[in-house]
Chains A and B, each alone.
Chain A
Amino acid sequence: MKRSRYTFIVAALSLVVIAAVGCRDFLDLEPEFTQDAENYFINADDYDRALTGAYDLLQGSFMSLWIGEIASDNAIAGGESVTDTEGLHEIDEMRHDAVNTELRNIFRWNYAGITRANYIMEFKDNIDFEGKTQVLAQTRFLRAFYYFELTKFFGDVPLVVDERLGAQEVNEIERTPQSEVYAQIEEDLQFAADNLDWTNPVKGRVTKGAALALLGKAQLYQSKFAEAASTFDQVIQSGQYALIDNYNNLFSVANEGHSETVFDVQYTGLEGGSYGCLICLEGNAAPGFQGIRQYDGPVYGDGNSYNLPTQDLYDAFDQSDPRRDASVLDIEAFIAAQPNPSSITYAIGGGGHTGYYNNKYIKRQGEIGLPDNDLTSPVNYRVIRYADVLLMAAEANAQTGNDGLAQQYLNEVRQRVGMPLITSGGDQLLQDIYTERRLELSGEGHRFFDLVRTGEAEENIEGFTVGKHELFPIPQLEIDLAGGNWQQNPSY
């Protein structure tokens, strides 16, 4: 009896000890059905899927579109109240500072895109497969696009290439001079242009034309006019693109992929997304946000009255210019023209009202965005269309003294909408091109950056301070989180 009891005690004790030290493996769990980032790239499909992930961030472009308009003389912020997306109101009134959620989103989202592109580049030598060059070409295009967005907003930004940074490394990183960032952008885009075809059977994939057009744009932003002119010339001479006849049809869902499409961001209405995560959207948030508040009537859908065009923009159009009504919706005039105007209602948001709505990206009936139909629409964002290429080419040529070619490109754009031809030259021609850019491209997110780059901002934007507002401030938190050593942009 006694002995068996001791045996039992020993057994019990050993059980405890075994449990304590014996089964360390017990805690070695592996995540189920998810992949580990470090051991991922094994076959060609893996690269393709990672590339899709890198494309994803393009869908945050609606923010850039808003700021490009709201910061300019084209539009006001709007919305439910002056504190609704307050950052846009501050930018609208040129009183934005280093604390601004929307600017921080620009910073974060574009770096997320860059990181996803760099992740592919980091492992680019893992395996070889057919079509790898095209995957890398697309990857580098995307990286260049995101860097171009960043430098457009913030000037000098840290240049991270082909690697991911850890929490420690980020403390030591510096802002890279803009010229070096541009050099990387040009190198990436040149690689993309050299390795991509003019067309891709898959709608939404970037092409040689997109790479060259973005390259030309980057050169134009650096005032490398001769190089820009020659880059744009390649796009125009390729014969891949043509203006479509009817300006009114440029922005419909049905007409996507038309001959004027150089580079679109793709959206869907099938799984638009929700307010909870705007960067997670697969639908275009611009139309929903820019739609008519509380609207009940024909043609349009309901929206949130953001990014409202100004009277100044409306008045800039010639009365006979079809682009006015295609670009700016005069809501009262529209309602009055309907068969039963009194049945049509809409509301005015506390964030401001101009009587006008962005008629290019606006919520339309039938362009459904699931699950919250107020938020998104499937309409693609036309980042670069051929008319833009022609006008940029005209500008580059005018800057390098090729007035004839500049006139030709400019008038190609004007002819499409039945506007009289322009015969000016020199500085006047340049001015005419700038004006044409506003008329042709209003509501598409270019205006503020065009005004800055051409030195016309102070003249046209109330509250614009030269030497300060050309760049947006680096978000203060981003400075702090990167070790606090970066110099803020001038005057912020």
Chain B
Amino acid sequence: MFSTLVFAQSKEVSGTVTDASGITIPGVTVIELGTSNGTTTDLDGKYSLQLIDADKAVLRFTFIGYKPVEVPSAGRGSIDVAMEENVETLEEFVVIGYGTSKKKELTGATAQVKGENIEKMNIPRMDQALQGQLAGVTINTNSGSPGGSSNIRIRGLSTFGDNDPLILVDGVVYDSEGLNALNPSDIASVNVLKDATAGIYGVRAANGVILIETKKGSKGGKPRVEFDAYYGIQETSNKLDLLNAREYAVVKNEMFARGGDEVPFNNTTLGEGTNWQDSVFTMAPMQNYNLNMTGGGERTSYSIGGSYFTQDGIVGGPKSNFTRYNGRVNIVTDLSDRLELTSVMLYTHEERKALPENGIGSVLYNTVNAFPTESIRTPDGNYSYLEEVNEVINPLAQIENTNNLSKVDKFVGKEELTYTFSDALSFSNRLAYNYALVDDKVFSPLVWYGPGKAQNTAINADLDPSIVLIGDSTEIERGAAVYEQRATYLDVTFESFLNYEKNFNDIHQVKATLGASVFRRRGEALNATAYNIPNNSEDFADISANLAPGGYLNNAGSFQFEERLLSTFMRAEYTYQYKYIISGILRRDGSSKFGPNSRYGLFPTVSGAWLASEEDFFNVPSITFFKLRTSYGVSGNDQIANFAYRALLNGEGVYVFDDVITQGVALGRASNPDLQWETTRQLNVGFDLTFYDALDITMNYFQKNTFDLLFQPDVSGVIGSYGPGGQPPVINAGDVSNRGVEFELGYQTNPALDWGFGGNFNATYLRNEVLSVPEGVEFLPGAAFGVGGVVATRFQEGFPIGYYIGYETDGIWQTQTEIDNAEVEQPGARPGDLRFVDQNGDGVISFGNDDDRVMLGSPLPDFTFGLALNARYKGFDISANVYSAIGQEIIRNYERQQPYANQLDYWLDRWTGPESSNEIPRVTTGATRNTEFSDFFVEDGSFVRLRNLQLGYTIPKRWTEKAKISSLRVYVAANNLVTLTGYQGFDPDIGAAGGTLSAGVDYGFYPQARIFMGGVNLKF
């Protein structure tokens, strides 16, 4: 010892650290291994260090995002190092529930996306950026409008109720709506737990779990500043092919004549007429600015960021806007040698303006049905009335008169203290919170859309208010109204857990987690409506401005709810010789959603893996990694209304006495004290395979069965549940099965080269089937077709969730002789009518019952594919992202069945006489069964979409160096440039905004924008 000290040479070593392309890296930590002797590189990537033991010293270079490098000094005075970027590797750590695990050692089916792949998509919401990037995760847009949400489905639909996965950002619970608050650039990584290993989250895990981590800094790193900005112009990705004025007049004349009515147009040479779509769709800007700083000192690391994003809508421009301000501070600090504090804080301010969408009465529904022979404005400058079509109003007037604003202020974060007892044992305490203040304001001015329009709030074009009789004699005016609501929501989670990890002689490895969690969510709101706002103007639209006499028309409301969870969980994992891994999870949850009879549930999971490539006998040089995995376990879903287990008097019991509305009480939902959660049992078998350290393949087969569905089925009317505000009891009944195969393939060339390419491909096959429904219930009805029409979608045994049911057609009846001589009688059929198929073979087409109805399609795709490609050469990079869904159908439900409503141009090929068409029926104002829900209204919804195409150029460093810029990249990109589909509607990528059973029903869906943008990424 003594002599070593004497002879050890103290010597200086210096050098430059660069990345693979030769760009210097500042802030790299350089440490003499085995000592606390170290330094960091300066702004030019240079370092110098006095070594304690120059002969034997090993220098270790570490920097976040790069593979660590260790170099023996071997007495040299100058050591230059080129660090390789840390692309996805098996050694990478992945966040799992209450801990991390090496990707290599995972026993469950998971899928990861790195932050850069989200950021690169330039998409305002991170969930939309995930579309097509993860096998087994289906994401559909609920609306293309700014701030519109998505539908995230992991491994299919397991219930007709809430199918949203549990989303945790840095351990804080988010709902899918709340994802608007996140700036996609802040995301460091996303990990999706798809199989039963999600069971560590117990009663909330049945729909899968998405774990999102935001960016953190690294200790000892010099400050790095990144600035990103992009600006884009959006336009609609599609317009419908509607009839122009001339075509419209011809078709309508024929329609009226056939119905025996006077023809509406004596002259059909009307030219193009009004193109309502051209007026409603606009070019709209969007822009994003993002500033982020990371770094750290000896004991602390930080990541601080701020961003501003704003997007106008392609419908309505600024009337349909989403704007987000966002600030974030993440700090990790060592309070002492053993105690580490992780502090994550996010503040977001969002503002959203939205127009009516996705339903009868939405702007686009009105746009499609407005007829081309009406001009937008009358000669005197007012908006036209479109009088001949009931309940269809001038969409431009509607945009102008819609005034609503939703503002959200959100604080989200966690404080986590971890005490490390030893290398093996640590103890964490975590307090996570999510606070939101939501202000909504809806101003309804006095408007007149024309005679007889249901949306009128005035009684004439002079905007005179209606007169309301209060009591026997008091008459008051009812003018412009404003509705305001202020709601607060607070989620608090407190979690405590012990992590143990020990390696015994590189033979036995043991990991264990034991913890407890309490969760409380509370929401409260007050709302009020005020009437007779001065000047019919939004400028005065505040509930304080109520001018209605005596406060007669003022009304106020409130709500409040609270729900709680109390949980304990444990996980144990044992690995033998790095080859065999077995893991078990047990979680016990208590939920306030359920009654004392069944409040607690136990959710076990087992999983295992075999790393075959680690075996000595495994001798396939091309295969560098091969792992087989399986898991089986139980998880739950508790997403139902609070207090569904007991009977409350929250029905509506209102009657009119003495001409005054009198509030009484009435029974609400009937009780079910034995109510419990849905149970999902899932089996997963899969493997991971790597060829030559470059090509990764992952495959999974899964079988996911959900039992005891939280059902609110029809009950016998005799129980009396169907009065106002009444509901049948929630019961546990019905089973659903999801089976499928997932495939992922990834390839990346060596990042150290100055050229490269790579790609990720994923494919998912999914089969969904309802296995049973409650006794006595044939099906659960979903969305209706048309106006006051039949239910077209159902939840029914033997079919996929939300499948479509209606009449199958077999061409068109061509002649009366054909009808008379047919073996099947179709009541009311006339030549030119759709010919329905007699499914039950009784010789007659039955309307009004199921005898001749069959499955016409399903909103669920059979296959989904995602493909991401990238290539680079020197400073240039190009990337493309493609998503495809195959095998789903869409119901065309945006055509109003009214004589004067405009129609799509396929009607030009209608039946006009024998043999003229065997596909499109005749047009008539007379009574016809052609409006029955049939396959005539069902279209193939398959599509392939180029989601993002981007071309970037990184300016050579020698030009930017002087400005202290370490990297400057400029790019141009296009989103949704190309969509290949046979679907006639606006957008085939439609979600389920109206709930699970309304999926695939198109009411004039707000399409996603096609966006052309340019941007810069700047690093200092």
> Which residues of A approach B to under 8 Å, CB–CB?
5, 8-9, 12-13, 15-17, 19-20, 23-24, 26-29, 31-38, 40, 46, 48-59, 79-87, 90, 95-97, 99-100, 104, 107-109, 111-116, 118-119, 158, 160, 164-167, 170, 173, 202-205, 253, 266-271, 277, 279-280, 282, 293-296, 302, 345, 347-348, 350-352, 366, 368, 370-375, 378, 475, 477-478, 480-484
CB–CB B722/A111 < 8 A: yes
CB–CB A26/B564 < 8 A: yes
Residues of A within 8 A of B995 (CB): none
CB–CB B642/A31 < 8 A: yes
Looking at the assembled complex, report how far the CB atom of A180 sits from the nearest CB atom of chain B, in whole angstroms. 16
CB–CB A269/B722 < 8 A: no
Residues of B within 8 A of A253 (CB): 469
B507 at the interface (CB under 8 A from A): no
Looking at the assembled complex, report how far the CB atom of A42 sits from the nearest CB atom of chain B, in whole angstroms. 12
Residues of B within 8 A of A79 (CB): 788
CB–CB B927/A352 < 8 A: yes
CB–CB B724/A378 < 8 A: no
Instruction: Find the A residue at minimum CB distance from B717.
Output: A108
B725 at the interface (CB under 8 A from A): yes
Residues of A within 8 A of B714 (CB): 477, 481
Residues of A within 8 A of B36 (CB): none
Question: A83–B714 Cα gap in the complex (Å)?
Answer: 23
The segment out of B69-77, B586-594, B969-977, B1000-1008 that lies at the interface is: B586-594
B667 at the interface (CB under 8 A from A): yes
Residue among B469, B663, B850, B927 making CB contact with A52, cutoff 8 Å = B663
Instruction: Find the A residue at minimum CB distance from B785.
Output: A83
Question: A483–B777 Cα gap in the complex (Å)?
Answer: 10
Give B456-475 interface residues, CB cut-off 8 Å to A: 456-457, 459, 466-470
B652 at the interface (CB under 8 A from A): yes
The segment out of B292-300, B643-651, B947-955 that lies at the interface is: B643-651
CB–CB A279/B654 < 8 A: no
Residue among B419, B562, B719, B847 making CB contact with A8, cutoff 8 Å = B419
Give the bracket for the number of chain B residues in contact with chain A.
Answer: 35 or more
* 5 interchain pairs, CB-CB under 8 A: A28-B592, A97-B848, A111-B717, A111-B718, A368-B466
CB–CB A116/B653 < 8 A: yes
Looking at the assembled complex, report how far the CB atom of B528 sits from the nearest CB atom of chain A, in whole angstroms. 15
Residues of A within 8 A of B653 (CB): 49-50, 52-54, 56, 116
Question: A96–B515 Cα gap in the complex (Å)?
Answer: 62
CB–CB A109/B723 < 8 A: yes
Residues of B within 8 A of A294 (CB): 387-388, 390, 451-452
Residue among B425, B665, B776 making CB contact with A49, cutoff 8 Å = B665
B786 at the interface (CB under 8 A from A): yes
List 7 additional A-B contacts (Cβ < 8 Å) besides A16-B496, A116-B667, A270-B468.
A53-B665, A53-B667, A55-B664, A83-B789, A111-B719, A112-B720, A352-B927
Looking at the assembled complex, report how far the CB atom of B733 sits from the nearest CB atom of chain A, in whole angstroms. 11
Check A38/B470 contact, CB under 8 A, given A16-B496, A51-B664: no
Looking at the assembled complex, report how far the CB atom of A417 sits from the nearest CB atom of chain B, in whole angstroms. 29
Check A83/B849 contact, CB under 8 A, given A114-B720, A345-B387: no
Check A112/B927 contact, CB under 8 A, given A83-B789, A296-B451: no
Looking at the assembled complex, report how far the CB atom of A95 sits from the nearest CB atom of chain B, in whole angstroms. 8
Looking at the assembled complex, report how far the CB atom of B726 sits from the nearest CB atom of chain A, in whole angstroms. 6
CB–CB A279/B723 < 8 A: yes
The segment out of B756-764, B873-881, B928-936 that lies at the interface is: B928-936
CB–CB A481/B777 < 8 A: yes
Question: A351–B929 Cα gap in the complex (Å)?
Answer: 11
Digitize B622-665: 1 where CB-to-A-CB distance is under 8 Å, 0 elsewhere: 00000000000000000000110011111111111111111111
Residue among B661, B664, B789 making CB contact with A53, cutoff 8 Å = B664
CB–CB A266/B655 < 8 A: yes
CB–CB B931/A373 < 8 A: no
Instruction: Find the A residue at minimum CB distance from B470.
Output: A270
Question: A111–B719 Cα gap in the complex (Å)?
Answer: 7
Digitize B703-744: 1 where CB-to-A-CB distance is under 8 Å, 0 elsewhere: 000000000001111111111111001010000000000000
Looking at the assembled complex, report how far the CB atom of B922 sits from the nearest CB atom of chain A, in whole angstroms. 14
Residues of A within 8 A of B729 (CB): 167
Question: A302–B566 Cα gap in the complex (Å)?
Answer: 56
Residues of A within 8 A of B466 (CB): 368, 370, 373
B898 at the interface (CB under 8 A from A): yes
Question: A337–B43 Cα gap in the complex (Å)?
Answer: 93
Instruction: Find the B residue at minimum CB distance from A301.
Output: B452
B490 at the interface (CB under 8 A from A): no
B516 at the interface (CB under 8 A from A): yes
The A-B contact count (CB < 8 A) is: 326
CB–CB A167/B664 < 8 A: no
Give B915-942 interface residues, CB cut-off 8 Å to A: 925-929, 931-932
CB–CB A279/B718 < 8 A: no
Residues of A within 8 A of B899 (CB): 347-348, 350
CB–CB B663/A115 < 8 A: no
CB–CB B718/A158 < 8 A: yes
Residue among B661, B725, B929 making CB contact with A268, cutoff 8 Å = B661
CB–CB B650/A56 < 8 A: no
Residues of B within 8 A of A48 (CB): 664
8 closest A-B pairs by CB: A115-B720, A53-B653, A52-B664, A112-B723, A302-B452, A296-B451, A19-B516, A53-B666
| Chain A CB within 10 A, most for which of B387, B591, B666, B931 | B666
Residues of A within 8 A of B191 (CB): none
Check A350/B599 contact, CB under 8 A, given A202-B657, A204-B655: no
Residues of A within 8 A of B720 (CB): 111-116, 118, 164-165
Question: A109–B932 Cα gap in the complex (Å)?
Answer: 27
CB–CB B777/A34 < 8 A: no
Question: A483–B850 Cα gap in the complex (Å)?
Answer: 21
| Chain A CB within 10 A, most for which of B564, B652, B717, B726 | B717
Question: A238–B656 Cα gap in the complex (Å)?
Answer: 27
Question: A334–B769 Cα gap in the complex (Å)?
Answer: 58
B454 at the interface (CB under 8 A from A): yes
CB–CB A170/B716 < 8 A: yes
Question: A24–B600 Cα gap in the complex (Å)?
Answer: 10
Question: A5–B661 Cα gap in the complex (Å)?
Answer: 69
Residues of B within 8 A of A378 (CB): 469
Question: A24–B390 Cα gap in the complex (Å)?
Answer: 58
| Chain B CB within 10 A, most for which of A46, A112, A345 | A112
B869 at the interface (CB under 8 A from A): no
Question: A52–B790 Cα gap in the complex (Å)?
Answer: 33
Looking at the assembled complex, report how far the CB atom of A280 sits from the nearest CB atom of chain B, in whole angstroms. 4
Residues of B within 8 A of A29 (CB): 562-564, 592, 642
Residue among A19, A80, A277 making CB contact with B787, cutoff 8 Å = A80
Residue among A83, A266, A350, A373 making CB contact with B925, cutoff 8 Å = A350
Question: A469–B563 Cα gap in the complex (Å)?
Answer: 52
B906 at the interface (CB under 8 A from A): no
Question: A13–B932 Cα gap in the complex (Å)?
Answer: 65
Instruction: Find the B residue at minimum CB distance from A52.
Output: B664
Question: A20–B850 Cα gap in the complex (Å)?
Answer: 52
CB–CB A53/B716 < 8 A: no
Question: A13–B789 Cα gap in the complex (Å)?
Answer: 61
Residues of B within 8 A of A86 (CB): 788-790, 847-848
CB–CB A109/B927 < 8 A: no
CB–CB A477/B655 < 8 A: no
B892 at the interface (CB under 8 A from A): no
Residues of A within 8 A of B599 (CB): 27
B116 at the interface (CB under 8 A from A): no
Looking at the assembled complex, report how far the CB atom of B602 sits from the nearest CB atom of chain A, in whole angstroms. 12
Residues of B within 8 A of A104 (CB): 717
CB–CB B725/A280 < 8 A: yes
Residues of A within 8 A of B215 (CB): none
B498 at the interface (CB under 8 A from A): yes
CB–CB B452/A374 < 8 A: yes
CB–CB B390/A293 < 8 A: yes
B437 at the interface (CB under 8 A from A): no
Give B841-860 interface residues, CB cut-off 8 Å to A: 847-850
CB–CB A12/B848 < 8 A: no
B427 at the interface (CB under 8 A from A): yes
